[in-house]
Chain A
Amino acid sequence: MGHMAVKFFGQFLVEKGLVSRDALLKAIDLQERKNLKMGEMAVSMGYVTQADIDRAHNAQLSRDMKLGDLLVEMGILTLSQLNEIITRQKNTHLYIGEALVLVGALTGAQLQQYLDEFKADQAQYVADRIELPCAIPNSRIWEMAADLTYKMITRVLDIQFRPEKCRVVTTLDTNFMMAAMDLSGDAEARYLISVSENLQKRVAKAILREESVEGEPAEVLEDTVMEFVNVVCGNVAAKASQMGAIININPPVSIRPAATGIQVPDGHTALCFPIYVGEGEKMELILLVRQ
């Protein structure tokens, strides 16, 4: 079974040795010179001055708004001008593949062939629809996180399961152990995977690529669940960046929950995605989303 990660095209090419690291950096430098940022495009189209941009940047320090929206709110740009700028940015965008052809690292025919190979490589991570039970900030990101978790349980852990309907909970059920990672940036949540004892061993076998994990220290077994969480969350950050959102990850931690479970902290919504693996086993994905 393939264990490929979520990737972007340039990375795929360098990992496979199809273009060199230096050629990719050259192409990225070219992209950065050619692809104007929103403010630069607005200035080049004559809609604003650099002084307007500086003023908006200063205002951004105390306002959590995108530059374009702020320029409209400040009366510097009209909404139709903003739309025109965004359309121009999209229409003139230099993609990494085109940039690699321009710097002479690929021919046009190679670009097409490698793009097809890249799409086939990434097809396993094309999103399926997940339904959340309530309105929640950044719902598209959390739907994607749940979808990617399911795909990685299959691909990385080789565990067959049935996803059950997501529900909002006020207490997290106890279980043998949980591994957690805090996500920050454009969307904030604590991502948790909870596993029963036997499932922890199945995770460990898959992560360590061992037939048996009998005799492994508890510390190593716990670490494998944390590593699974790390792998999923890193790939969630990669998918989020393709969706235009920045997500930062932090080192994972392990939790041994009390028999009474864990109370959901104030100001958070806990989305619980039960993952049915079999009789007597318990696995859950929990997203503690900051409201």
Chain B
Amino acid sequence: MIETFYDVMRRQGITRRSFLKYCSLTAAAMGLGPEFVGKIAYAMENKPRIPVLWLHGLECTCCSESFIRSAHPLAKDVILSMISLDYDDTIMAAAGHQAEAIIEETIEKHKGNFILACEGNPGLDEGATGGMSCIIGGKPYTEQLRHAAKNAKAIISWGSCASWGCVQAAHPNPTGATPIHKVPDIGNAPIIKVPGCPPIAEVMTAVITYMLTFEKLPSLDRQGRPKMFYSQRIHDKCYRRGHFDAGQFVEKWDDDAARQGHCLYKMGCKGPTTYNACSTIRWNGGLSFPIQAGHPCIGCSEDGFWDKGGFYNRLSNINQFGIESNADTVGIGSAAVVGGAVAAHAAVSALKRSQQKGGQE
């Protein structure tokens, strides 16, 4: 019999009082009413822990770094114990063949019942790197991923790497880094994208908690992201929104507007085009988030955020028209060409007409 979450918590010396506090805070984080606290507590007390395989492909481990900092009460200690995290090479004690053997063992024992958490993505380009850009235990990561994915109940794509491709997939993408949902022959397990570089710790833990509590996937948007955290843009709930509507913008890093905390729109803030929960849940236990610290949002949870030109430019670069060009430089250029052509044509027309008139007289 696999232990329940509650058993694990008690074994780790967590009081029932703290446990119930955790349940109510989790319910609040997921936007649920107070009546769900009992449901969460019941689930935690009675449901067996779900085994999780946490595989790492091409990535920087910032997702793991974020996850272990979940400042949600107890999450730091408990979520890791709550789920039966059978394999996570970054934080597991086992190493080498023993560690690798666990993957096989989990897949055998919990076929179709474990959650596959993917951090990072595989490099599929056989040409440039011979498919050798990510080798784990002597085998390409792609093989390990496919094998686990086909036997998983559900896949969580942690972070922008697994969700969109992230920096390693930036142009020209030498390794052919490919997000999980685009990997061919990946099987049919549902994929939940939790983008961000990294995703917010509390978002990560809440997604897992939701799946454990209700034994189903959270409601996803069309792009596969949980609606409860990715249905609004940073801009929609930004505490500096009032300055945006007023037309008060930071123009330079050291100007008076910057000191007064005005809107960072002109400094390239991607808040208006970025779906994430940073402006509501914030980071480091709700302490702050990039805009609050005076830096524009770089849009790290959006597809292709790395290839849109400077983080500090409002308009995206359109490199097809030369470095540093954007919609306005292209547009003003075209309008000038058309305007010039029109003026020249008008001049010739007038000339021809006067010639004709002269000829007629």
- Note whether A and B form a binding pair: no
Interface residue ranges, A against B (CB under 8 Å): none
